[in-house]
Structure 1
Amino acid sequence: MTTPRTTNRSTTNRTTPATTPGTTGRIRGLLADDPDVGAGTVLTSRLALGLGLDDPLLTFDTPVDEHPAWHALTLRELDRAVRARAAALYGLGVKRRDPVVVYASDAADHVLAFLALARLGAIPALLNPHLDGERAARYIARLGAAGVLADPAHLAALAGHDPGARLLPEIATLGAGDPDAAPEPYRHWSDDPVAITHSSGTTGMPKAVVHSHASLYAAIRHRLRLPRPQGQERMLSALPAPHAATLIAVNLALSSHTQLALLSGQSGAGVLDAIERWQPTGVVGFAATWADLARHDLSARDLASVALWWNTGDCAHETHIRRLIATGSRETVTRAGRTREPGSLFVDGLGSTEMGHSHFFITHGPGTDRYGRCVGRPHAFVDCAVVGPDGEPLGPGEIGELATASPTLALGYWNDSATTFRTRLRGRFLTGDLVYRDKDGYYYHVDRAVDSVELGDGQRLFTAMSEERVLAACPEVVDCTVVAAHDGERVVTDVLLLLADGADPAADRTKDVVAALDEAAAATVRRVLVVSGDDIPLGPTGKVRKVLLRERHHEVAHA
C-alpha cells in the first residue's frame, strides 16, 4: 500500500472565518430575500450588510496587488482591489454597456475584471486563454468589443491579427488605480447583460453567450434558501476561470460566506497539488478534470479534507466518480453522534453555458448505484421536457432532445439573433443534448446530438453512452473516445483508449470493447486504438473536439 504524501498545512492557508454559523445564515437569508441582488451587485450588496467584512473569502493562486499568491482576501480587501480596477477602467473611458474582452491566463484577472466591469455597468466578455490568437481575434471582432484587456502573452497572441477593438493597457496595470476614484456602483436591472462567456468551441468558432443580472443569480437565490450542504464551507474551484460556472461559483461564495480558492489551470496534477496545499472541504470542476484526476494514483495523495466533489457541465463517467468517492472523508450521524467516515460524495449534473447553471443533480457516494449516465432529477426552478423532432414531448424511456425553461437561461447569443431564435422552441431552449427519463423521473444523458449518428432501421449510435460502457467494462482504460465516421454507405467507429499506467499497450482489447457495447454500436467497430493524451484534440474548456477527430478518421477511411 502506498503511503500518502505528507504536506505542510500552514495555519494561514487553513484560516476559518470568524463569522458564526448564525451570522452566515443571516447573510444568506438577507441576500436571498433582496430582489435587487444579482450577479452584478453581490459584492456591493455584501458590503452594505456590514457582516463578515474582515473574514477571508477569495483566494487566488497568483499575486493580487500587494497580496501574495494563496493569500485569502477579505471582503474589504476584495472591494479595494475591485474599486482600483473600476477606477482605472473608468479613466480609460469604459462606460455602461461597453463590451470589454478579458483575455488572460490568471483566474484573478478574470474574476477581478468581471467584478470591476460589472460595477461600471459594462459587460465583461471573458475569453478562454487556450483559444488561439487567430480565432480569438475573429471572435472579438464579431463581438464588436469596445476594448480588450489582456496579459502580455495574449497581447502577443493577438499580434498580427485584427480584433477590430482597442487594445487597453496590460491587465496587470489596473491594480494601480485609485480605489477612492471609482464611480458609484451601477444599479443593475434584472435583464441587464452582466457578462458574455462563450461555448466550448468544440464544433468550430465559440458562440458568445449573454447572461443577465438575474439569470446568473437565479439558482444561487434558490440555493441560499436551502441548508448549506456539507463540503461547501471551503471550496476549491478547478473550473475554467472565464466560464459562466466560475462566475456562479464566485457569486455563490460571496453570497453564502464560503471560502473559495480559484485555480488558473485545471490539470489533474495541479488540482491534486492544490488540494494538498489548501485542504478544501469541496472541489468543483468539469468532467474533463475528473478524467485527468483518474489517471493519477489517488491513494498516494492527501485528499482527506474533501467531503464533496461537485461536477457541472457535461455529466461525469461512473468509473471516474467511483475513484473519487473512494477518497476523502465525510461527516455522518450515528447513534453515537457525529463522526467522520472514509469516502466522499460526488454531486453530478448536466449544464451548459447557455443553461447558466446545471439543471439536474444527483448525489453519488459509497454504496450508491444509480449510474449509466444518470444526471438525476431537475432542480425545482427548472421546467424541462424530452421532445421529438416536432417539439412534442416524449414519454418515459424515449430518447429525444432536452428542451428546458428556467430563470437561469442566458439571454441568447451576442450579435447572433438567428442562432438565438433557432435554439428556442415553444418557450424552451433546445440544449442539443439527447436524453431520456425513466418512470421515476430520473434523466439520463446518452449523447450530444451532433455526435450521435443514424444507423438506419430506427437504430442510432450514441458515442457518449458507448464511452461510458467501455470505461465501466475495461478497468485498465482511464478514458475513452468513440469516433464515428462514414466509410461509403457504412458507419464505422474507431474506439480510442487512454490506458492507466502499467497497462500493456500492445494487448488486443477489441473483444472486451465490442462486448461492452450494445449490438448496434458493436457492429460498427472498425478499430480499437491505444492513444496518448496528445492524440486527442481538446477545445478551450477541455472538451474533446470530436468534429476534428471525425475529419481525421474519415480521411483514414478513404485513404
Structure 2
Amino acid sequence: MPQTLPLLPERGFYLGLMFHQAAARHGSVRVTLDRPLDVRPEAGLALGYPELAGLVDDLAARLWAAGIRPSERVALHKSDNFDIVLLTCALSRIGAVPALLSPGLAGPVVGELLGRLERPWLITDRAKLEGPLSGVGVPGLVREVLSVDDAQGAVPLDKYAGAPPHGPVRLHPREPSLITHSSGTTGVPKLAVHCPNTMWNRLVPQKAMGWPTRGETAALHMSFVHSRFYHLLGVLLHFGSPLLMLVDPDPASAGPLLAEHRPGIVETHPNTFVLWEELADAPGAPLSRVRSYGSTFDAIHPRTVQRLLGASRRRSPWLIQLYGQSETGPVAFQVYSRRSAAKADGRRVGTAIPGFTRVRIADAAGKRAGSGKPGRIEARTRGRILTYFGAQQTYDAQLGDGWWQMGDMGYQSRWGGLYLIDREIDQIDSVDSNLEVEDILMTRLDELREVIIVPGADREPVPVVCVRGDRPLDNRRWHEATADLPLMSSPLQWRFDDLPRTSTWKIKRVEITRMLTEGALPAARFGV
C-alpha cells in the first residue's frame, strides 16, 4: 500500500481576512513602507493594521462595483509595490481568484499567460500598458482592463471610489482561490492553482516555526507574487509583528531603514542576502537585533549564513532555510546557529516537516534509493497545489503514486537529512555538483557577488562570475581557488544585473546556457 499522509479537517487560509483578523486581535500595529502605495499615494509610508484592513475593504468594494464576481480569474500585473498585496487580498475578499504575474516578466510571456488564463480580468498600470505590454494585444486576451492609475485604454479604479462595502466571500476550502506561477527558470512559467485548504496546510507548520519570534519587528524584501510571501505575512499578522516592507533591496536604501527599525526577523531571497552581506558591518549596525533570518526559494551559501549570523548581537540568532517550490510549499527545513553554520554543508537543505511532509530519493526505476545513493528528489505533502491551470497533463506527469517530482537531484543520509546536488536539467557529466563547487568558490573568494556554473555549447562547465563593485576578477586568486576543483573553462565575468533572473532572483541557468550557445552575451562584460 502506498504511504499517505493522515487526513485533516477541511480548513482554509483566506487572504481576504488576514488584515481584518490581525486588526481585531492586535489593534494598530505599525507597518512601514519604503515607497508610497500606487493605489493610495496620499496614505503615506506609515500605516497600521486597521488602516490596511480599511484599504482592502475600499479596494474590494471598487472591484465588486467594477463587476468582478466570485470564482472569476483576475490577472494582477503591475509595477512592483506593496499594493500588489492589498489588491490580492481585496480580490480574495470578494471571492475572486487572483492570478499573480510577476512585474519582472517580459511582455510576450505575460501575453502567453493571459492567453492560458482564458480571458481573465486584468489589473495593471500605465507603466505596464505603455511599456512591456504595448505590443502584446492585451484587449483581445482579457475581459476588461482595470488600472490603478490613469492608463489610457483602461478603466481606472478611481471610477468606483465610494462604492458601497461588500462583505467577505469564502470559497469552499478545496475550490481554486489563488494562482501563482512557477519560477520560469527553464522556460515559460506554469500557472500553479492553490486552494484555501492546501494553503492552510502550508500555514500551520510555518506558524509553529514563527512562535519563538512572535511579535518581533519583521523586515521583508520578497516577491509579492509568490505564495511564500502570503504565508509568511499570515504568520506575522497572526502574532502581531510590526512590519517593514522593502521594495528596493539596494543596501544604500535598505540599510538605513533596517538600522532605524532594528528588526528581529529578516527574510528575503538568498541572492539578496548575498547582497546584504555588506550590511554586516554597515553604519548603524542594521542587522544587530536580528534573532531569526528566513531564507527560501533557493539554497543559500554557507558564507552568507555565517556573515548574517555574525552580524547579529543577539545571544543565539538562527537562520531557517526552507526547501520547496511553488507547487508544494516547504517540504524540508534546516535551522542554522552560529556554531552549526561554521561547519555547515551548503548542500544539506534539511529534513521533512514532521506530520506535514515526506521526502524520498527515487532511483532511475522510480524505486526508493538507499541512504547516500543519488537520485531524483520526490515529496509528498498536503500543501501541494491542485493543478497547473490549463496544463493538467503536465501536472499529472510530475506525480507518481502521490509523490511529486521536485526536479532536483540529491540524496538522503541514514537519518533523513536531505542533500541537494543539482537541478536535473543543469547537471554536467564532469562535475559531481555544480552547486557544491559554487559554494566552495563563494567561501574561498570573498569578493564574489555570485558564481554560476553552467554547461557551455559543448556541455563543458563554464563559470560565470560577478564581483562586488564590478571590479576585475583577480586572475591569480581565481586559479588558486580552483586548483583542486574539476576542470572548468576560463571564467566569464558579468555584472550581476546582466544575469537573467526570476522574480525571486533565482538565476536562469538554462537561459545563460542559451546565451552562451548563441553568442548573445551582455554588451558590457569583463574577460579574465
Question: TM (normalized to structure 1)?
Answer: 0.82
SS of alignment partner, residue 229 of structure 1: helix
Write the mapping of 1:112-511 to structure 2, written as runs, cut at 5 A.
112-156=86-130, 157-163=132-138, 164-172=141-149, 174=157, 181-224=164-207, 228-230=211-213, 233-294=216-277, 298-303=281-286, 304-331=288-315, 344-357=317-330, 359-366=332-339, 368=341, 369-380=343-354, 381-455=356-430, 461-487=432-458, 491-501=459-469, 505-511=473-479
SS of alignment partner, residue 435 of structure 1: strand
Q: CA offsets, 1:402-438, max 9 Å, x none?
A: 1111122111211111211111111011111212121
Q: CA offsets, 1:148-186, max 9 Å, x none?
A: 101221122312212300343312554785677232211
Aligned CA distance change for structure 1 residues 56 and 177 (closer, same or farther; 3 Å)? farther
Higher mean alpha-carbon deviation, 387-396 vs 413-422, is at 387-396
CA RMSD, Structure 1 to Structure 2 (Å) = 2.8
What's the CA shift for 1:486? 4.4
Aligned CA distance change for structure 1 residues 41 and 134 (closer, same or farther; 3 Å)? closer
SS of alignment partner, residue 422 of structure 2: strand
Does the Cα contact within 8 Å between 2:192 and 2:385 map onto a contact in 1? yes
Match for residue 337 of structure 1?
none
What's the CA shift for 1:364? 3.2
Aligned CA distance change for structure 1 residues 223 and 471 (closer, same or farther; 3 Å)? closer
Distance in 1 (CA, whole Å) between partners of 2:331 and 2:129 is: 33
Distance in 2 (CA, whole Å) between partners of 1:364 and 1:550 is: 36
SS of alignment partner, residue 476 of structure 2: coil
Distance in 1 (CA, whole Å) between partners of 2:373 and 2:95 is: 45
What's the CA shift for 1:295? 5.5
The number of residue pairs the alignment matches comes to 499
Aligned CA distance change for structure 1 residues 69 and 482 (closer, same or farther; 3 Å)? farther
Query: 1:408 corresponds to which letter in structure 2?
Result: G
Distance in 2 (CA, whole Å) between partners of 1:269 and 1:201 is: 30
Q: CA offsets, 1:476-499, max 9 Å, x none?
A: 323211121243xxx411112222
SS of alignment partner, residue 121 of structure 1: coil
Does the Cα contact within 8 Å between 1:60 and 1:70 map onto a contact in 2? yes
Does the Cα contact within 8 Å between 2:18 and 2:237 map onto a contact in 1? yes
SS of alignment partner, residue 366 of structure 2: coil
Distance in 2 (CA, whole Å) between partners of 1:450 and 1:554 is: 16
Query: 1:498 corresponds to which letter in structure 2?
Result: C
Aligned CA distance change for structure 1 residues 324 and 498 (closer, same or farther; 3 Å)? same
What's the CA shift for 1:469? 2.0
SS of alignment partner, residue 51 of structure 1: helix
Query: 1:210 corresponds to which letter in structure 2?
Result: V
Distance in 2 (CA, whole Å) between partners of 1:435 and 1:546 is: 18
Distance in 2 (CA, whole Å) between partners of 1:387 and 1:270 is: 45
Q: CA offsets, 1:103-139, max 9 Å, x none?
A: 1224322111111111111110111111122221222
Distance in 2 (CA, whole Å) between partners of 1:140 and 1:226 is: 36
SS of alignment partner, residue 391 of structure 1: coil
Aligned CA distance change for structure 1 residues 117 and 227 (closer, same or farther; 3 Å)? closer
Query: 1:55 corresponds to which letter in structure 2?
Result: S
What's the CA shift for 1:537? 2.2
Query: 2:363 corresponds to which letter in structure 1?
Result: G
Q: CA offsets, 1:278-318, max 9 Å, x none?
A: 32111111112112223567444522222221101111011
Distance in 1 (CA, whole Å) between partners of 2:470 and 2:284 is: 19
Distance in 1 (CA, whole Å) between partners of 2:464 and 2:361 is: 30
Question: TM (normalized to structure 2)?
Answer: 0.87
Match for residue 65 of structure 2?
91
What's the CA shift for 1:373? 1.9
Distance in 2 (CA, whole Å) between partners of 1:144 and 1:402 is: 33
Aligned CA distance change for structure 1 residues 311 and 395 (closer, same or farther; 3 Å)? same
Distance in 1 (CA, whole Å) between partners of 2:361 and 2:251 is: 34
* Alignment partner of 1:538 is 2:501: yes
Unmatched 5+ stretches in structure 1: 1-32, 333-343
Match for residue 491 of structure 2?
528
Does the Cα contact within 8 Å between 1:126 and 1:242 map onto a contact in 2? yes
Distance in 2 (CA, whole Å) between partners of 1:226 and 1:203 is: 31
Unmatched 5+ stretches in structure 2: 1-7, 150-155, 521-528
Distance in 2 (CA, whole Å) between partners of 1:187 and 1:534 is: 42
Aligned CA distance change for structure 1 residues 429 and 271 (closer, same or farther; 3 Å)? farther
What's the CA shift for 1:389? 2.6
Does the Cα contact within 8 Å between 1:434 and 1:446 map onto a contact in 2? yes
